[in-house]
Amino acid sequence: MEDCRRVGVAVDFSPCSSKALEWAVNNIVRKGDHLILVTVQHEGHYEAGEMQLWEATGSPLIPLIEFSQPHIMKKYGVNPDPETLDIVATASRQKEITVLLKIYWGDAREKICESIDNIPLDCLVIGNRGLGKIKRVIMGSVSTYVVNNATCPVTVVKIHD
């Protein structure tokens, strides 16, 4: 992976993250890149055993052929939506890129920022849920936190309804 760009996209398999992924594929990813989907699951929602080994560092990088299989993803407690799988499968074929998935457990804001250095990523694309000012103050915005704390360029894709 040393000679290629590593483009990260934070995904939670929502329509918002699908739009961010689609934007990244159409505007940033080019032939030979590694497209790395970063997802964060809440703590404690995965099988015991080997998964506990990855709690601090996240899962190994999972290739597209594996994370396209529901029985493998069930082991991780992740359920990728069909739209995301379609976007990455098409991009993999048409743009000749390598698609990987990295799963973390814990707080999304912190784990996404950790992933930038751990993988490492050259840039990151993240969707914006479009919270209003009040909700953003109460709940906090993952994208705002990542933009302010990331060690690589971050693009926030705003979703307009």
> Which DSSP symbol is given to 154?
E
Which pTM was predicted? 0.88
Residue 135: φ, ψ to 5°: -60, -40
Q: Are strands 62-63 and 98-105 parallel, antiparallel or unpaired?
A: antiparallel
The SS3 call for residue 53 is helix
| Amino acid 139: pLDDT | 44
Kindly report the average pLDDT of the chain as a whole number. 86
Q: What is the pLDDT of residues 38-55, one digit of tens each?
A: 999 876 544 555 556 666
For 155, how many CA atoms within 13 A lie in the half-sphere containing its CB?
20
Decide which of 134 and 83 is more confident.
Answer: 83
- The reported pLDDT for the residue numbered 47 is 53
- Domain ranges (residues) in the chain: 6-158
CATH 3.40.50.620 fits domain 6-158: yes
pLDDT band at 34; cut points 50, 70, 90 = very high
69 closest CA partner among 80, 59, 58: 80
Query: Looking at residues 18-29, what average pLDDT do you find?
Result: 96
Residue 6 has pLDDT above 50, yes or no: yes
> Tens of pLDDT along 93-135?
999 999 999 999 889 999 999 999 999 999 999 998 755 555 4
Which amino acid is present at 15? P
Least confident of 6-10, 52-56, 141-145: 52-56
pLDDT-derived band of residue 138, with 50, 70 and 90 as boundaries? very low
Q: CA–CA separation, 121 vs 82, rounded Å?
A: 25
Encode pLDDT of 63-72 as tens digits.
999 999 998 8
The DSSP code sequence of 103-135 is EEES-HHHHHHHHHHHTT-SEEEEEE----HHH
Predicted pLDDT at 155: 95
